Structure 1
């Protein structure tokens, strides 16, 4: 029997879509994990009822979390992914031929197991010999880490519960310390359209700027995420994502993408006025 699922994005708004079948529903030690079939979006992954991933548009989020940073860095060889147990981010990282090692740290192993069953086109990337999956708390992993990385990508859930610490200064400080001297940290930063998130977005930006000499925010249009506009923040020790040479690097790589391209790379950093105001950026 079909029903309409309500994905609450704030106290006052939500995304609603028809579900024709519940394909999987299990409780992990951390959360309820569901996969549902929908006419609008294909298979959808829900965590505690919140939409995490859809077959139809996962490419937009994952491409935009990964490619701007990977092309900004001159030689991204060793990559750390925090979260991202569905392996969508991992899949896009491995498109970059320069990558030699990827460590993915996911708290909930059952997310990856369920994704393997229902989103194998993403989780198959975990079989690559360059990949190491570690199932533990990402905050603790980074705090105790003695390795160095060229790039850290934070593919977290919303800033509640275990993921809240991924949006705080102590975590950013730990990330800074395990990045190489020219390393880049990039994290998803929620939707600037949600008023309740404006303070968090602003504070994340301030915290990153207290550590990194160059912090740039950029946006992507993602129809199934909060209010349709999603923010990312790129914090770099050296490289500027607006450097002119990046365009030629993107064209030369000729990656198969559905959202990201060389012109969009630069355009994504042009922010609406209200977003610049949240970030206290000059117009």
Structure 2
């Protein structure tokens, strides 16, 4: 008998994956955690019934989250990752030898241990000597930071449950304060295709646009995301993600990637018209990439 996992995206739309077997199921203080083995996507991590990532497509998310700001900031030394307990973002960050400090703030210790067991390639990034894990609430951690980080990455993907506070005006304001004078924040902007998700995208962009002088949005194709389409937010005190992109400098690194390229960096900020319309309405002015 076939076993299927389904994630509800709207009352009329589900993502369904045939499942070979359930590898893990548990409940932490913060959330329900499940690991499934699937023929199409390999192992997938599910939190509270929602796919967080899969073996097959997590490289897209991790590369686009990390390489975009790292290719723009001219001299990053300290990075803060809010969330990131799976280690995927940390693993990509550790490819950059100039980074001296990578702080991970993840409240759910059980999630980290599950990922270490079932996703060891991703979680290996957590063992780098530059990485420190703080098992704390991200918003609370930020309240005690000021002028500390070159880059902040909000690795929380869903604005509900225990991560709801990571999508508030207070969070973005505290992130601004925690960044150095030329700091960059990357955050998850969601998937705008379905009406149910569009309102969350609007709310996030409105809040960030009020907090940062530079606020741009870029995109990626992630098959297990709603509609297979995901947006990221790039918020900065000084650097523009396209104008200040060091294309030649990034190429010289010769880092191995599966998704991100120098050409894609620029193209990712060229958004579909319906997404531009959403952003224009929230900003009250014409959307201009450059």
TM-score (norm 1): 0.96
Residue-pair matches, total: 283
Aligned residue for 2:286? 282
Unaligned runs of at least 5 residues, structure 1: none
Residue aligned with 1:107, SS: coil
Aligned to 1:271: 271
Instruction: Structure 2 unaligned segments of length 5 or more: list them.
Output: none
Distance 1:245 1:162, change over 3 A: closer
In 2, distance between residues paired with 1:77 and 1:44? 32
- Cα shift readout 1:53-106 (whole Å, capped 9, x = no counterpart): 100110001111111111111111100000111010111111122111000001
Residue 91 of structure 2 aligns to a residue whose secondary structure is helix
Q: Secondary structure at the match of 1:72?
A: coil
Is this contact kept in 1: 2:157–2:190, CA < 8 A?
no
TM-score between the two structures when normalised by the length of structure 2:
0.94
Q: Which runs of 4+ in 1 moved over 4 A?
A: none
* Secondary structure of 1:263 counterpart: helix
Deviation at 1:282, TM superposition (A): 2.1
1:13-49 deviation line (CA, Å, top 9, x unaligned): 1110101111111111111111111000001111122
Q: 1:152 maps to which residue?
A: 152
Higher mean C-alpha displacement, 78-87 vs 136-145: 136-145
CA shift for structure 1 position 194 = 2.0
Q: 1:189 aligns to what SS in structure 2?
A: strand
Match of 1:134 in 2: 134
How far residue 157 of structure 1 moved from its aligned partner, in angstroms, is 3.2
What is the CA-CA distance between 1:245 and the residue it aligns to?
A: 5.0
Alignment match, 2:120? 120
Q: Quick one: distance in 2 between partners of 1:16 and 1:245?
A: 38
1:198 alignment partner in structure 2: 198
Alignment-derived partner of residue 255 in structure 2: 255
How far off its partner does 1:147 sit? 6.2
Q: Distance in 2 between matches of 1:261 and 1:147?
A: 31
Q: Does structure 2 conserve the Cα–Cα contact (< 8 Å) formed by 1:156 and 1:188?
A: yes
Q: Give the secondary structure class of the aligned counterpart of 1:9.
A: strand
